[in-house]
Amino acid sequence: MSSHAEKPAPLGGPLVTPLTVTLAGLAGIAAVILLIRFIFGIGSVTNINDGYSWGIWVVYDVMAGSAFACGGYAIALLVYIFNKGEYHPLVRPALLGSLFGYTLAGASVIFDLGRYWNTWHIFFPPWAQVNSVMFEVAVCITLYIGVMWIEFSPAFLERLGRSDLKKKLSNWMFVFIGLGVLLPSMHQSSLGSLLIVFGTQINPLWQTMMLPLIFLMTAITVGYAVVILESCLSASGFKRPFEADLISRLSLVMWWFLVIYLVMRTVDLAWRGAWAEAFEPNVMATSFWIEMAGFILPVILLASPAARRRPDRLLISAVALIVGTLMLRLNGFLIGYQTGAGWHYFPSLPELLVTIGIIAAEILGYIVLVRWLPILPKVEPVKIAR
Amino acid sequence: MSTTRRQFLQGAVASGAALSLGTAPAVQARPNLTLPPKAVGLLYDSTLCIGCKACVSACKESNNLPPEFSTAENLWDTPQDLSGRTKNIIKAYKEGNATQKDREVDGHAFIKHSCLHCVDPSCVSACPVSAMKKDPVTGIVTYDEKDCIGCRYCVVACPFGIPRFEYDKAFPKIVKCELCNHLKPGDKFKYSACAQVCPTGATLYGPVDQLMQEAKRRVALKPGSITRIERGRVGSGDIYEAKLTAQYLPRVYGDRELGGTQVLKISAVPMEKLGMPELPERSFASVSETLQHDLYGWLALPAVVLGGLVIAAKRTARPDDENEA
């Protein structure tokens, strides 16, 4: 178990820095806009309309936001299911990112729900409508957020000095780890299935029965990308050594997932005869290629073992994958969606500021918690002075 | 820690099962729903419509909806489209000099937009909280704001763009035609207000099977023939003789679109020109629900996958946690 020698420890350090103050400011602006939204209605701050009733508060905050929060899921899959123990140091930081991403994605749903005070109806008969893909998504995401807090609780219990409770919990942790892999598999695929009932309103580039698998595969690969990005950024931001061995091996796992994904996507488009749509002179085709570039670029950039050890290539690949994953969701739900002539949507400034505020809150929470709780692997002082 | 081949394979099996969620074999496809026994609906005949918009006005009165202004004087209720304040609207098609009614080229025509009350509605399938329901007897697609969470999945899902949302309200709701399902004996309107007030019988209310017969009878008629047109509802007895000038297209819109709708439309100008979408016969709801049932029917697949995952996690998680404690 030598790979686990680096036990997680709080980073310490200042909580009030120019960065954290800026992030708190952005979150504050979002809070003010949301106050206006709750008093005067969603239309007072957003550009959503009856032709595009789902804007970026749904498609970014929930769809993309939860996919970007799949680091914990993707790493748990590797460590606990494929028994790759060497990635264990990545579990806690990845899980923290996921915890924040999902909790905020879940909470931000409330901002978008018109009749939010009825939200609880989803979980109870006679309201619960099990044929609805939305029902499945809502139940699974809610359960997963709960499971993640339980998975993460050892870090809190350590801080609170409750090792007795922690030990009890750890005896049953495998059940929650199992659920923590099952639930994201279910709802990340279902986020794709949401599109199926839209039928021919979705361009054939994105309307396929493979949607669940397409969304699931991209959620897992972007999970690895986010872990790689977090590792690159915390190496520079917190002045920690770059975990080159671990990250380069992880990037190979991601690389294979990507290759399988691209083969699947290509064959599916060919099978349905949808490739012609990709060469139409329109916005949808352009957007499709931006999406695809996000998945193809990392495959090229990370093809050799030497390339997978280069932080610049890893960083660019991770960002490309994040863009590709975001574009897939924007394309499926907004750019590739047409419900009739004459409808337009582009997010308003306040609408964008809310999304930015949520991202800021996420980063802020991450910084505060890694400084306060044992999350990142402890690093010997000697290593830091390089 | 090194991975044994056996452990790795166990992981591979568990995850493979999880990953194959999207490709599980179809257990039993959920077919299109069928027309309820006493389904009621509307027949809208574009060639009879004179664009007077009495139906738009009556709909507002019957549903207690406020006016929408689009002229400078703010005097007249002049909605431009369906909205949170308008459940029924008449739109005009114009081409070229627009002189002749019911002609595709250099002509004009009217079309009524309101809920089609699909036989297998996407909105009902999409709604996570049963706020959208299809009446098992009349087939009317109803909405109850008391149940609704305002997620607007119905708004996005409907291929006809029917459900609308009140974006300008702090406590909004979905707004859509419910075929005046709320009317009680003694009310001013006895059945769908739009049909009751239509002066030409362009909008006719009645049982869907009888409306379908009437639609098929009309589209078979030739220009110049004289025919009896009933006003209001089927069986009202309010009949007049009309001389047809337009040439009907041999199509009843709603006979098979997404498995059929309870509001039927006939016209002399192609439906796509009038803003009605071309749709396949298999309902989107049935496609979506077949997939959901394959994946989550009786929670069988998730239970099997969870079993595999928990077994894999039990073998891998314990040593790690002991190590940490």
pLDDT 10s digits, B209-267: 999 999 999 999 999 999 999 999 999 999 999 999 999 999 999 999 999 999 999 99
Task: Tell me which of A62 and B323 has the higher pLDDT.
Answer: A62
Tell me which residue in A40, A84, A116 faces B3 most closely, judged by beta carbons: A84
**Per-residue pLDDT reduced to its tens digit, B67-101:** 999 988 888 899 999 999 999 999 999 999 999 99
Q: Hey, are the CB atoms on A185 and B21 less than 8 Å from each other?
A: yes
Burial (CB < 10 A; 0-12, 13-18, 19+), residue B144, is middle
Question: Would you state the pLDDT for residue A1?
Answer: 35
Q: Hey, are the CB atoms on B306 and A48 less than 8 Å from each other?
A: no
For residues A236 and B288, give the distance between their C-alpha atoms in angstroms, rounded to a whole number.
Answer: 46
Residue B322 has pLDDT above 50, yes or no: no
Q: What 3-state DSSP class applies to B87? A: coil
Is residue A6 very low, low, confident or very high in pLDDT (cuts 50, 70, 90)? low
In A, minimum Cα distance to B160 occurs at A339
Question: Would you state the pLDDT for residue B33?
Answer: 96
For residues A151 and B321, give the distance between their C-alpha atoms in angstroms, rounded to a whole number.
Answer: 11
Q: Hey, are the CB atoms on A85 and B314 less than 8 Å from each other?
A: no
Q: How many structural domains does chain A have?
A: 2
Contacts of B83 in chain A (CB under 8 A): 50
The CA dihedral of A74, A76, A79, A80, to the nearest 10 degrees, is -130
Question: Would you state the pLDDT for residue A161?
Answer: 84
In this structure, are B212 and B161 located in the same domain?
Answer: yes
In this structure, are B50 and B192 located in the same domain?
Answer: yes
Tell me which residue in A49, A189, A197 faces B288 most closely, judged by beta carbons: A197
**Per-residue pLDDT reduced to its tens digit, A50-89:** 999 999 999 999 999 999 999 999 999 999 998 888 998 8
In this structure, are A280 and A185 located in the same domain?
Answer: no
Please state the ipTM of this predicted complex. Answer: 0.93
Task: Evaluate whether residue A88 is within a structural domain.
Answer: yes
Q: Hey, are the CB atoms on A121 and B166 less than 8 Å from each other?
A: no
Contacts of A79 in chain B (CB under 8 A): 316, 320
Q: Are A96 and A363 in contact (CB under 8 A)?
A: no
For residues B136 and B148, give the distance between their C-alpha atoms in angstroms, rounded to a whole number.
Answer: 20
Task: Evaluate whether residue B35 is within a structural domain.
Answer: no
Least confident of A111-115, A117-121, A167-171, B106-110: A167-171
Contacts of B313 in chain A (CB under 8 A): 80-81, 173-175, 177-178, 181
Task: Evaluate whether residue A381 is within a structural domain.
Answer: no
What DSSP character marks residue B240?
E
In this structure, are A136 and A117 located in the same domain?
Answer: yes
Q: Hey, are the CB atoms on A132 and B149 less than 8 Å from each other?
A: no
CATH code for position B75: 3.30.70.20
Tell me which residue in B18, B158, B325 faces A185 most closely, judged by beta carbons: B18
In this structure, are A208 and A181 located in the same domain?
Answer: no
> Which among A182, A162, A186 has a CA at the least distance from the CA of A174?
A182
Q: What is the mean pLDDT of residues A314-336?
A: 97
Q: Hey, are the CB atoms on A81 and B125 less than 8 Å from each other?
A: no
Contacts of A54 in chain B (CB under 8 A): 152, 156
Question: Would you state the pLDDT for residue A182?
Answer: 96
Contacts of B322 in chain A (CB under 8 A): 170
Task: Evaluate whether residue A249 is within a structural domain.
Answer: no
Residue A308 has pLDDT above 50, yes or no: yes
Any idea how long chain A is?
386
Contacts 24+ apart (CB under 8 A), A122-126: A122/B128, A122/B129, A122/B149, A126/B130
To probe the interface with B, which of A131, A221, A271, A339 has the most B CB atoms within 10 Å? A131
Q: What 3-state DSSP class applies to B261? A: strand
Q: Hey, are the CB atoms on B165 and A53 less than 8 Å from each other?
A: yes
Task: Evaluate whether residue A32 is within a structural domain.
Answer: yes
Q: Hey, are the CB atoms on B284 and A198 less than 8 Å from each other?
A: yes
Tell me which residue in B21, B275, B310 faces A174 most closely, judged by beta carbons: B310
Q: What token pair was written down for A348?
A: 């308003």
Task: Evaluate whether residue B33 is within a structural domain.
Answer: no
Residue A3 has pLDDT above 80, yes or no: no
In this structure, are B77 and B174 located in the same domain?
Answer: yes
In this structure, are A119 and A65 located in the same domain?
Answer: yes
In this structure, are B154 and B294 located in the same domain?
Answer: no
The C-alpha of B118 sits at a distance from chain A's nearest C-alpha, in angstroms, of 14
**Per-residue pLDDT reduced to its tens digit, A337-360:** 999 889 999 999 999 999 999 999
In this structure, are B23 and B54 located in the same domain?
Answer: no
The C-alpha of A213 sits at a distance from chain B's nearest C-alpha, in angstroms, of 5
To probe the interface with B, which of A1, A4, A53, A215 has the most B CB atoms within 10 Å? A53
Contacts of B319 in chain A (CB under 8 A): 1
The C-alpha of B310 sits at a distance from chain A's nearest C-alpha, in angstroms, of 4
Task: Evaluate whether residue A186 is within a structural domain.
Answer: yes
In this structure, are A182 and A285 located in the same domain?
Answer: no
Is residue A152 very low, low, confident or very high in pLDDT (cuts 50, 70, 90)? confident
The C-alpha of B208 sits at a distance from chain A's nearest C-alpha, in angstroms, of 25
Q: Hey, are the CB atoms on A44 and B168 less than 8 Å from each other?
A: yes
In A, minimum Cα distance to B9 occurs at A82
In this structure, are B158 and B301 located in the same domain?
Answer: no
Residue B163 has pLDDT above 90, yes or no: yes
Is residue B306 very low, low, confident or very high in pLDDT (cuts 50, 70, 90)? very high
Contacts of A246 in chain B (CB under 8 A): none
In this structure, are B273 and B312 located in the same domain?
Answer: no
Q: What is the mean pLDDT of residues A184-201?
A: 97
In this structure, are B199 and B61 located in the same domain?
Answer: yes
Question: Would you state the pLDDT for residue A92?
Answer: 85
**Per-residue pLDDT reduced to its tens digit, A11-29:** 888 889 999 999 999 999 9
Contacts of A163 in chain B (CB under 8 A): 325
In B, minimum Cα distance to A163 occurs at B325
In this structure, are B237 and B96 located in the same domain?
Answer: yes
Question: Would you state the pLDDT for residue B324?
Answer: 44
The C-alpha of A273 sits at a distance from chain B's nearest C-alpha, in angstroms, of 17
In this structure, are A260 and A365 located in the same domain?
Answer: no
For residues A188 and A248, give the distance between their C-alpha atoms in angstroms, rounded to a whole number.
Answer: 26
> pTM of the prediction?
0.91
Residue A281 has pLDDT above 80, yes or no: yes
In this structure, are A339 and A362 located in the same domain?
Answer: no
In this structure, are B277 and B293 located in the same domain?
Answer: no
Contacts of A9 in chain B (CB under 8 A): none
Contacts 24+ apart (CB under 8 A), B185-193: B187/B62, B188/B61, B188/B62, B189/B58, B189/B61, B189/B62, B191/B232, B191/B233, B192/B42, B193/B55, B193/B58, B193/B59, B193/B61, B193/B62, B193/B63
Q: How many structural domains does chain B have?
A: 2
Task: Tell me which of A362 and A320 has the higher pLDDT.
Answer: A320
Question: Would you state the pLDDT for residue A69?
Answer: 94
Question: Would you state the pLDDT for residue B321?
Answer: 47
The C-alpha of A279 sits at a distance from chain B's nearest C-alpha, in angstroms, of 23
Residue B24 has pLDDT above 60, yes or no: no
> Which among A62, A59, A10, A57 has a CA at the least distance from the CA of A34?
A57
Task: Evaluate whether residue B34 is within a structural domain.
Answer: no
**Per-residue pLDDT reduced to its tens digit, A83-133:** 888 998 888 889 988 998 999 898 899 999 999 999 999 999 999 999 999
Burial (CB < 10 A; 0-12, 13-18, 19+), residue B254, is buried
In this structure, are A21 and A80 located in the same domain?
Answer: yes
Tell me which residue in A50, A167, A197 faces B157 most closely, judged by beta carbons: A197
Least confident of A39-43, A155-159, B2-6, B117-121: B2-6
Give the containing element (helix H, strand E) for B323. Answer: helix B300-324
Least confident of A13-22, A39-48, B284-293: A13-22
For residues A237 and A23, give the distance between their C-alpha atoms in angstroms, rounded to a whole number.
Answer: 15
Is residue A243 very low, low, confident or very high in pLDDT (cuts 50, 70, 90)? confident
In this structure, are A153 and A213 located in the same domain?
Answer: no
Task: Evaluate whether residue A246 is within a structural domain.
Answer: no
In this structure, are A258 and A321 located in the same domain?
Answer: yes
The pLDDT mean for chain B works out to 91
Question: Would you state the pLDDT for residue B85?
Answer: 96
The C-alpha of B96 sits at a distance from chain A's nearest C-alpha, in angstroms, of 19
Domain that holds residue B190: 40-281
Is residue A156 very low, low, confident or very high in pLDDT (cuts 50, 70, 90)? confident
Question: Would you state the pLDDT for residue B323?
Answer: 41
How many other CB atoms are found less than 10 A from the CB of residue B151?
29
Task: Evaluate whether residue B105 is within a structural domain.
Answer: yes
Residue B319 has pLDDT above 50, yes or no: no
In B, minimum Cα distance to A166 occurs at B325
The C-alpha of B146 sits at a distance from chain A's nearest C-alpha, in angstroms, of 8
Residue B5 has pLDDT above 70, yes or no: no
Contacts of A113 in chain B (CB under 8 A): 149-151
In this structure, are B249 and B143 located in the same domain?
Answer: yes
In B, minimum Cα distance to A42 occurs at B167
Domain that holds residue A208: 204-241+254-345
In degrees rounded to 5, what are phi and psi of residue B170? Answer: -70, -30
The C-alpha of B119 sits at a distance from chain A's nearest C-alpha, in angstroms, of 15
The C-alpha of B24 sits at a distance from chain A's nearest C-alpha, in angstroms, of 11
Is residue A366 very low, low, confident or very high in pLDDT (cuts 50, 70, 90)? confident
Contacts of A211 in chain B (CB under 8 A): 22
Q: Hey, are the CB atoms on A131 and B155 less than 8 Å from each other?
A: no
Q: Hey, are the CB atoms on B148 and A118 less than 8 Å from each other?
A: yes
Task: Evaluate whether residue B49 is within a structural domain.
Answer: yes
The C-alpha of B309 sits at a distance from chain A's nearest C-alpha, in angstroms, of 5
In this structure, are A364 and A327 located in the same domain?
Answer: no
Q: Hey, are the CB atoms on B313 and A175 less than 8 Å from each other?
A: yes
In A, minimum Cα distance to B145 occurs at A115
pLDDT above 70 covers what percent of chain A?
96
Least confident of A45-49, A167-171, A255-259, A374-378: A374-378
In this structure, are B178 and B315 located in the same domain?
Answer: no
In this structure, are A56 and A113 located in the same domain?
Answer: yes
